[in-house]
Amino acid sequence: MDLHGFYTGTVFNAYEYLGGHLTEEGALFRTYAPNAPRVSVIGDFSGWEELPMARAANGQFWALAVPGARAGMKYKYRVYRPDGSARDRCDPYGFAMELRPQCASILWDLSAYQFHDGDWMAQRTPGLEGPVNIYELHAGSWRRRGPGEAGWYSYRDLARELIPYLKERGYTHVEFLPLAEHPCDDSWGYQNSGFFSPTARYGSPDGLMELVDLCHQNGLGAILDFVPVHFAVDDFALWQYDGTSLYEYPNAAVGVSEWGSCNFMHARGEVRSFLQSAAHFWLEQYHFDGLRMDAVRNLIYWQGDPARGENQDGLRFLREMNRGLKRLHPTALLAAEDSSAHPGVTAAPEEGGLGFDYKWDLGWMHDTLSYFQLPPERREAAGGLLTFSLQYFYSERYLLPLSHDEVVHGKGSIPARMPGPPEEQLSQARALYLYLFAHPGKKLNFMGHELAQAGEWDFQTALDWPSLAQPERRAFHRFFRDLGLTYRAWSPLWAWDYRQDGFQWLGEEQGRAGVFLFLRRDGAGALLAAFCFLPQAAPARTVPLPGCGGLELLLSTAWDIYGGGEDSSAPRLLPVQDGVAELPLPPYSGQLYRLLPPEAAGEP
């Protein structure tokens, strides 16, 4: 390893030097603990008796070769503190760990699993000009066999059932909530203790590799939620690793995050090398197709608060990490979960930007859900909540998320937040989701949205699959499938997402009578999206469409097959006469039309 690069924060492969590595004779252990007076290895290979390590490299590292150590053996480092006390630690660079509450690292041969996804890896892209429809998933609560640990699906169980489910519904990617090892289930994986260890909750590292590999073999990308801001406070992991604040700030004013965890000190080069090596590790060793970076706002500003000023160390870390990841993995997808208004999140680092491919549009999410939570009588005056997003949309490459954060902490499920009885809530939810897929920007939905769950997500239980016994929920489930397939099939919904000529409002009074009309287009053609977000039908809207030969209805949220009141078997061609169309606007509904060429005007 390049020691100068390690200390200056330019290393991306620190895990190749640090950690426990299998050799022909046994294993070679190395750890970074510059302020420890002594360090030992303990593990299965020594009967958990101490094997003293020797100082290595410049004296701030510790190393020991252990003959006879084998894959699958557990181990820890006993790190002595400057005050003479000692703590047993998991390996910060360990490749596998025990299931909580146990916390030993496990020797693992990362080369044992052989991938078979060469064609996928050679052809993948970040999807800027393609369809991106992401299914966000918490691996422990998609499906379960029963309560507790016995009910968890393994990585291989997910591969068997999840992949065909997503393929049938038009998804392009699955995004996993953090899978790096974490001690507390309640953190959903966002407070990590093993940044290089896939959680043992769902099986072995090989099992996760197989899951990603099979996603690729079936045309699905796999994205990992990555947490570069903070880490778990547990004293077997990174906290005070060598008896000093090695990874965290020594000052609690900036060292303790809003979640009660420890903030990484990104001013330290060795911390930056640790984190960007972990990011590279998941892309390189597990073939993940991208990373969603959590809590980017907290790297841009001190504690995520613009009033405290920009965190220049955090900004430098993001720029250089993304620059390096794109050099190593040019086709990987990098997305920022960032609620700030900081400019240039998706601009290139060479232009002063942060180098992400996408930024989550949390403003769109907030405004859209705020609109749909309004009582109907207040919506007509609130149309600006939906039109505002197009005033700033082309300043970044935005991804539209309706994520897990929108169905937790007392917010309720998405349909349950809408006014009216359950039938009207489902009608509004269908219209909302068509609006999401018709709006410019890539898409992300959390698992369970397709079921229109009545309650919030609970990480301790499975999604409400039994609700599909109800006809109205089956109809909604079918709608969500058809919506995803329609999105994939029609390139105007995604090819020109980030070109201003890919979108056009129709008319100047968006929101009057709850009606919104716009075009999506690309070089292959154009689609018209029409919405009425009020409980009464709006008068038919006259729309000028010069040069259009007619409209073909591709999908309506009001069709009876989805639970609406409109006949789905009725003719789906709408005439355009003298360049003008009359659009019917059923209550609480959305329609997606294809603009036909002029020669289609005479077709029946």
Q: Which residues are catalytic?
A: 294, 337
Strand partners, 248: 264
| 532 close to 584: Cβ distance less than 8 angstroms | no
The helix or strand, by DSSP H or E, that contains position 358, with its residue range, turns out to be strand 358-360
CA-CA distance, 554 to 570, in Å (whole number)? 12
Query: Which candidate, 482, 511, 369, 384, places its Cα nearest to that of 428?
Result: 369
The residue behind tokens 């069709």 is: 559
CA-CA distance, 71 to 93, in Å (whole number)? 16
What token pair was written down for 131? 């369809």
DSSP 3-state of 335 = strand
CA-CA distance, 575 to 602, in Å (whole number)? 9
| Alpha-carbon distances of 76 from 36, 184, 408, rounded to whole Å | 15, 20, 36
Angle among Cα 333, 459, 279 to the nearest 5 degrees reads: 25
Across 83-215, where does the E strand assignment appear? Answer: 86-89, 105-106, 133-137, 173-176, 180-181, 194-198
Query: Which candidate, 140, 173, 170, 171, places its Cα nearest to that of 158?
Result: 140
CA-CA distance, 132 to 183, in Å (whole number)? 32
CA-CA distance, 228 to 278, in Å (whole number)? 9
| 199 close to 102: Cβ distance less than 8 angstroms | no
Angle among Cα 226, 4, 322 to the nearest 5 degrees reads: 30
Relative to beta strand 515-522, strand 550-556 is unpaired
Query: Which candidate, 360, 353, 385, places its Cα nearest to that of 371?
Result: 385
The helix or strand, by DSSP H or E, that contains position 22, with its residue range, turns out to be strand 19-22
CA-CA distance, 124 to 131, in Å (whole number)? 12
DSSP secondary structure letter of residue 502: G
Render 399-413 in DSSP notation, one character per residue.
EEEE-GGGGSTT---
Asked whether the CA dihedral 408, 436, 508, 539 is positive or negative, the reply is negative
| Alpha-carbon distances of 197 from 74, 91, 99, 206, 448, rounded to whole Å | 13, 10, 11, 11, 27
φ/ψ of 299, rounded to 5, equals -95, -30
